[in-house]
Structure 1
Amino acid sequence: MLSSFAELLSDSCPPPQTALNGTETEEGDARVHRDYKQVREVKFFGAIGPLGERRFCKIKCIGGQWVGPLCVNQQGNGRFHPLFRSCKLEYINPHLLVTFRNVSIHSAGWVFPHGAKLQIRCRELGLYKLLGAAATRCQNGAWSTKLPSCVPTTLLTNFTEDAPPTVLIRIPSGSASVESGGELAVFPGSTLHLECLFSRRLGSPDWTWTSPTGQYLTGKVNTRLLQPS
């Protein structure tokens, strides 16, 4: 019995450090300064990710060292799992709009937990074309895809041959909104006009749509560009 108690003391862990935003606090330090010689597990609520998602977590004392944290996953099955590595957003192209759970990310340096999904689109819909994936996910310390870029269209490049066509969006009546993934959501009863600006000497662009339920009016207008004198 004495031998078992001695082994328990030799494998005990020191009081865990309590910190706020990475800085140890006097209040927290005083609160945990107690005897942990017989404590093998500490449970607590943690804030995960930039939005402070609340997770139930724990640390375990194994061989004289605290191991963890282990947290209950988002599926809510009650089981504790190790936290995978987070991902840091190192750079944001100024023409990109990045959102996480409908919250806009305006600057680089944010750290996102494993499994976090970022939605990405160009800020000016129709004037820039997204080159790359419209979403990326944090997978154990690495992003699933490289962040995309925004390519200027014909209206911004003076109709150079390698530029994609500009699409001007007009809502004469009703309203619409741009979703975080770059989709244009048009509300019922609204009127939508799309204008494709493209050099006719390179060909004639055609409109296509996936909805089989209706047809939409299309037309072509020849416009002569005035060259500066």
Structure 2
Amino acid sequence: MKGKDEGDKLITMHHSFPDGTEVTFNCIASIMGEKTTWRIICEDGSWVGRSLNCEGDDLLDSVAVHLRNSTCMFRNTEPNVVSFYNDQQITEEVVEFPAGSILVSRCVDIGKYAMIGSSRRRCVGGEWDGQKPVCFGLNQENDYASTSSYSSPMASLVLTALKSYQTKLLEKPPTILFRHQLGPIAQSNDGRLIVYPGTILHMECLWIRRFGAPKWVISHNYRKYPEGWTTDPGRDSQLEYRLSIYHASRDDSGVFTCVTPTRHTHAVEIVVKAVHCPMLPPRRGLNLNTMNTKMNTKVLLSCANGNSLIGASEITCLPSGNWSAPIPICESIECADLINLTDAYLRVSILSREVGGRSVFSCTQGYGLRGPHEAICLSSGDWASPLPTCQEVQCDTPGTPDNGYIQGNGPYKAGDVIQFNCNPEFMMEGQPIIACQENGRWSGTVPKCVQACSYPGTTISGRMSAVKFYYKIGETITFTCDEGLGLKGAPMLRCLRNGKWSNAIPTCVPIPTSSPVILAR
């Protein structure tokens, strides 16, 4: 059994605990010999304790186990510092990490900021080991923008103030700007500059030229690098002192340090490495805009046939050689049956359940659709809304044609049909049947019944030019007889205005043979 003094020593060893930490002291013996377990909790910066039943007698082991299993809180509040966990940047403000987690940190721009503290920290005993990283700004490029000339009456006063300001700038370590061609560059999670082989890299150390020239110090003697004030169009030859690495190779890796005349320094570690991420495996229905795996490559991903993309739609090849997110998959999406429709008169026919498929709506007879006639299956697996409703539809009585009548009695609902008929000796002009439509209108107009001549009958052993039930006023028909027969009566009949034929139907009769001629001797 360990006493309370030993427990106090253990707490002293771990002098800082996050809020909510619990520490247990096992089997503390009282004056009467009773053994009690004490548990204390860190609440709002103070230890609050209470007694429990004695369940063990190894204080150091119990506290050590607790500390080993304690989580660590990470507060992402330090400006200009970016931190990573398992190669993923932490973007949340507060994150709780399990014991043993390792965070890697660097400045947001390793050329414009310098870091004080540990780049790698581990969660141990509820706390992060090492020193908390802090990034401070260097003599930033925009600081020098204020040194431009002035032509106002106050120019002398302004320049006097600028001299004092410039003096402060000269006491800062120099900013280093990066420019590259022919290949990618990227900042690693731990603050190194990764350069792809063959790349042309320009590093520009910012310093006011009239105060002298800085110099570059390199950690190796692989080759001599050209350096000097930049002369490129659009660049500032009074501010940017450049070192160039042409067609970088593996042996160019090293630490490049810019040293100002005031002996302030800023260094960048360069690693020349052909970083490639793993080849993207083919997945059914997954479309990629590129198969390139080189560092900094961005791959856009989408699914064919309207399927749903499960995962990131864009991934980037990181300087670690890992993709920025897991490779997504395409999930086949189908829309379910449209069941439990609230409208009892609504009917649905599903043509296809796949994304982009359609379902077609209709109503029972007497009802018409109000709303879309179809719905599309969306990539979410839902049918497009809103769904239509069915409303009762009636058509007005269309009217009865003169000299005719209607078959079918009202009221007329959507889907009902009526048939028109004409009285004897009259013929119909127009549609004999019309239907009541969903919009409450008839499919056609009321036909007309006009006076006409009825079928006159046929001629025995003869033919008629046109056989119909009714003939229009002024229409004519002609008759012919079979071979060997002659026509008796008018060969043509005309339908007169009174609905009568101009003549009786002719008949076909045998043609009489001539008497034999007797020749005289």
> Shorter-chain TM-score: which interval?
0.5 to 0.7
- What amino acid sits opposite 1:179 in the alignment? S
Instruction: Rate the CA distance shift 1:187–1:85 in 2: closer, same or farther, 3 A.
Output: same
Aligned to 1:208, the other structure's residue is in SS state strand
RMSD of aligned C-alpha atoms?
Answer: 2.8
Aligned to 2:96: 111
Candidates 200, 209, 215, aligned match of 1:191: 200
Give the distance between the partners of 2:123 and 2:239, measured in 1 at CA.
48
Q: How does 1:148-187 map to 2 (within 5 A)?
A: 148-154=133-139, 155-158=141-144, 160-187=169-196
Give the distance between the partners of 1:133 and 1:167, measured in 2 at CA.
22
Contact 2:186 2:193 in 1 (8 A): yes
Residue deviations 1:63-94, cap 9 Å, x none?
A: 69xxxxxxxxxxxxxxxx87432211124323
Aligned to 1:209: 218
Q: What's the offset of the Cα at 1:104?
A: 0.7
Aligned to 1:95: 80
Instruction: Rate the CA distance shift 1:224–1:178 in 2: closer, same or farther, 3 A.
Output: closer
Aligned to 1:144: 129
Give the distance between the partners of 1:88 and 1:99, measured in 2 at CA.
14
Q: What's the offset of the Cα at 1:194?
A: 0.2
Which consecutive residues of structure 2, in runs of 5 or more, have no partner in the other structure?
Answer: 1-53, 57-64, 145-165, 231-236, 241-521
- Does 1:121 pair with 2:106? yes
Q: How does 1:15-30 map to 2 (within 5 A)?
A: none
Give the distance between the partners of 2:209 and 2:110, measured in 1 at CA.
22
Give % identity.
Answer: 28
- The structure having more radius of gyration, on CA atoms, is 2
- Does 1:223 pair with 2:208? no
Aligned to 1:51: none
- What amino acid sits opposite 1:143 in the alignment? W
Give the distance between the partners of 1:91 and 1:203, measured in 2 at CA.
40
Give the distance between the partners of 2:96 and 2:87, measured in 1 at CA.
16
Aligned to 2:82, the other structure's residue is in SS state strand
Residue deviations 1:86-136, cap 9 Å, x none?
A: 211124323211101101101232112222221111112312222322222
Aligned to 1:106, the other structure's residue is in SS state coil
Give the distance between the partners of 2:142 and 2:118, measured in 1 at CA.
22
Instruction: Rate the CA distance shift 1:213–1:86 in 2: closer, same or farther, 3 A.
Output: same
Larger RCO (CA within 8 A; separation ≥ 6): 1
Give the distance between the partners of 2:227 and 2:239, measured in 1 at CA.
20
Give the distance between the partners of 2:216 and 2:129, measured in 1 at CA.
32
- What amino acid sits opposite 1:187 in the alignment? Y
Residue deviations 1:120-179, cap 9 Å, x none?
A: 111123122223222222221111123222212212444513322110100022111111
TM-score by length of 2: 0.26
Give the distance between the partners of 1:169 and 1:192, measured in 2 at CA.
7
Instruction: Rate the CA distance shift 1:192–1:224 in 2: closer, same or farther, 3 A.
Output: closer
Aligned to 1:181, the other structure's residue is in SS state coil
Contact 1:157 1:163 in 2 (8 A): no
Q: What's the offset of the Cα at 1:201?
A: 5.9
Contact 2:79 2:135 in 1 (8 A): no
Contact 1:92 1:107 in 2 (8 A): no
TM-score by length of 1: 0.56
Give the distance between the partners of 2:142 and 2:101, measured in 1 at CA.
34
Aligned to 2:377: none
Aligned length: 149
Contact 1:127 1:156 in 2 (8 A): no
Instruction: Rate the CA distance shift 1:199–1:136 in 2: closer, same or farther, 3 A.
Output: farther
Q: What's the offset of the Cα at 1:224?
A: 6.7
Give the distance between the partners of 1:224 and 1:111, measured in 2 at CA.
45
Give the distance between the partners of 2:101 and 2:213, measured in 1 at CA.
42
Q: How does 1:26-65 map to 2 (within 5 A)?
A: none
- What amino acid sits opposite 1:223 in the alignment? Q
Instruction: Rate the CA distance shift 1:137–1:168 in 2: closer, same or farther, 3 A.
Output: same
Aligned to 1:219, the other structure's residue is in SS state strand
